[in-house]
């Protein structure tokens, strides 16, 4: 009997995770991972990888499972304590995920003193995924499970249906072309990577544009959220504006950071 042929399109964190699950769960299928770009050239490689539980069915169990899993993979998943700070006092102070993350509490007045423009803050511990190490490891695991890898751009899912019985679409923004999903749009994020191994806590402004995320290899300081902007190249104006934002907020030194 012919083996069922499965193709997973996309080698970001979603595609690689899906490909590993299919290849390991269905060893009697032939599984191909097809992508135009692989690590370190996917959006997933650039992500800070912080897990904030989002509201969708199953979130609670999924987040609990993640917390158990990170113990098994200390090279890719870390627990990070953080402050999320708000300028707007009317924001949802105790969100549904406060029961899922570890040790949720409101920031104390003395902690908030460091951020004079902000009205309140949340302190908690959550998970960070180190995608730049995690993706190559997932790819190795996929190959070990017998998966095949093909690097090329697909022009449509229709074109793939001649060669495969099942198509798993994990193409991220590529779905705009692949399935003609016109509701998809990019949100461009530019960040700076700096060396500061002494930093272990992240700070995130609820504006979602300003943050410091320490990681295993470097600290990410951000950023931008530019809706509808497809540019991939570095914008020097954005670099300047990120640095200026931190200067206005007390200077990078107040966060334990220096630009060399
Ligand atoms: C600066 C920044 C910071 C971020 N921080 C976080 C964070 O802290 N936490 C968080 O949860 N999220 C964060 N994100 C969002 C996160 O990066 C994305 O949601 C996630 O990486 C999407 O993963 P993906 O696998 O769906 O897509 P991608 O990583 O974009 O992978 C898409 C894959 O599909 C392939 N592909 C596309 N079209 C085709 C085609 N036609 N043919 C063949 N292959 C194709 C690509 O080559 C690629 O391999 C951040 C994003 C940015 C930009």
Q: pLDDT tens, position by position, for the chain (260 residues)?
A: 778 999 999 999 999 999 999 999 999 999 999 999 999 999 999 888 888 777 777 778 888 888 888 777 778 888 889 899 998 877 777 888 898 899 999 999 999 998 888 999 999 999 888 998 999 999 999 999 999 999 999 999 999 999 999 999 999 999 998 999 999 999 999 999 888 888 888 899 988 888 999 888 888 999 999 999 999 999 999 999 998 887 776 555 556 555 54
Residue boundaries of the structural domains of the chain? 5-46+133-178, 59-132+186-255
123: part of which helix (H) or strand (E)? strand 120-129
**177 phi and psi, to 5 degrees?**
-85, -45
The answer to whether 152 and 33 are in contact (CB under 8 A) is no
Q: Name the residue of 16, 43, 142 whose CB sits within 8 Å of the most ligand 1 atoms, as the mutation to test its pocket.
A: 43
Residues with CB under 6 A from ligand 1: 9-15, 34-37, 42-44, 46-50, 153-154, 170-174, 177-178, 189, 191, 223
Residue nearest to atom 53 of ligand 1 (CA): 189
**137 phi and psi, to 5 degrees?**
-65, -40
CATH architecture of 5-46+133-178: 3-Layer(aba) Sandwich (3.40)
Euclidean distance between CA atoms 202 and 48, whole angstroms: 11
The answer to whether 85 and 203 are in contact (CB under 8 A) is yes
The β-bridge partners of 187 are 227
Cα-to-centroid distance, 169 and ligand 1 (Å)? 13
Tokens of 12: 């970001």
Q: Is 182 exposed, middle or buried (0-12, 13-18, 19+ CB in 10 A)?
A: exposed
Fold of 59-132+186-255: D-Amino Acid Oxidase; Chain A, domain 2 (3.30.9)
Q: Name the residue of 34, 172, 242 whose CB sits within 8 Å of the most ligand 1 atoms, as the mutation to test its pocket.
A: 172
**238 phi and psi, to 5 degrees?**
-65, -40
pTM of structure: 0.90
Euclidean distance between CA atoms 12 and 172, whole angstroms: 8
Tokens of 192: 């700076």
Euclidean distance between CA atoms 80 and 69, whole angstroms: 15
Distances (CA, A) of 222 to 4, 46, 76, 232: 44, 12, 21, 16
Residue 256's pLDDT is: 58
The answer to whether 163 and 7 are in contact (CB under 8 A) is yes
Q: Is 28 exposed, middle or buried (0-12, 13-18, 19+ CB in 10 A)?
A: exposed
Could you tell me which of 163, 189, 187, 186 has the C-alpha nearest to residue 175? Answer: 186
Question: 3-state SS of the chain: helix, strand, coil percent to 5?
Answer: 30, 25, 45
Could you tell me which of 256, 247, 249 has the C-alpha nearest to residue 199? Answer: 256
């Amino acid at each position: 009997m012919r083996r069922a042929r499965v193709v997973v399109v996309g080698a970001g964190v979603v595609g690689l995770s899906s490909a590993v699950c299919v290849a390991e769960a269905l060893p009697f299928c032939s599984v191909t991972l097809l992508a135009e770009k692989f690590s370190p050239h996917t959006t997933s490689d650039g992500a800070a990888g912080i897990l904030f539980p989002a509201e969708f069915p199953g979130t609670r169990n999924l987040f609990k499972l993640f917390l158990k899993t990170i113990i098994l993979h200390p090279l890719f998943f870390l627990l990070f304590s953080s402050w999320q700070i708000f300028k707007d006092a009317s924001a949802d102070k105790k969100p549904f995920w406060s029961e899922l993350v570890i040790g949720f509490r409101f920031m104390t007045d003395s902690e908030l003193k460091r951020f004079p423009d902000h009205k309140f803050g949340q302190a908690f511990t959550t998970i960070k995924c180190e995608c730049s190490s995690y993706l190559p490891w997932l790819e190795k695991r996929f190959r070990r499970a017998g998966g095949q890898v093909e690097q090329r751009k697909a022009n449509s899912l229709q074109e793939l249906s001649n060669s495969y019985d099942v198509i798993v679409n994990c193409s991220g923004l590529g779905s705009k072309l692949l399935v003609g999903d016109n509701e998809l749009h990019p949100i461009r994020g530019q960040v700076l990577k700096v060396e500061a191994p002494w930093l272990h806590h992240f700070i995130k402004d609820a504006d979602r544009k300003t943050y410091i995320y320490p990681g295993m290899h470097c600290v990410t300081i951000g950023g931008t959220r530019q809706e509808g902007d497809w540019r991939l190249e570095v914008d020097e104006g954005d670099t300047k504006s990120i640095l200026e934002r931190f200067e206005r907020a007390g200077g990078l030194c107040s966060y334990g950071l220096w630009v060399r």
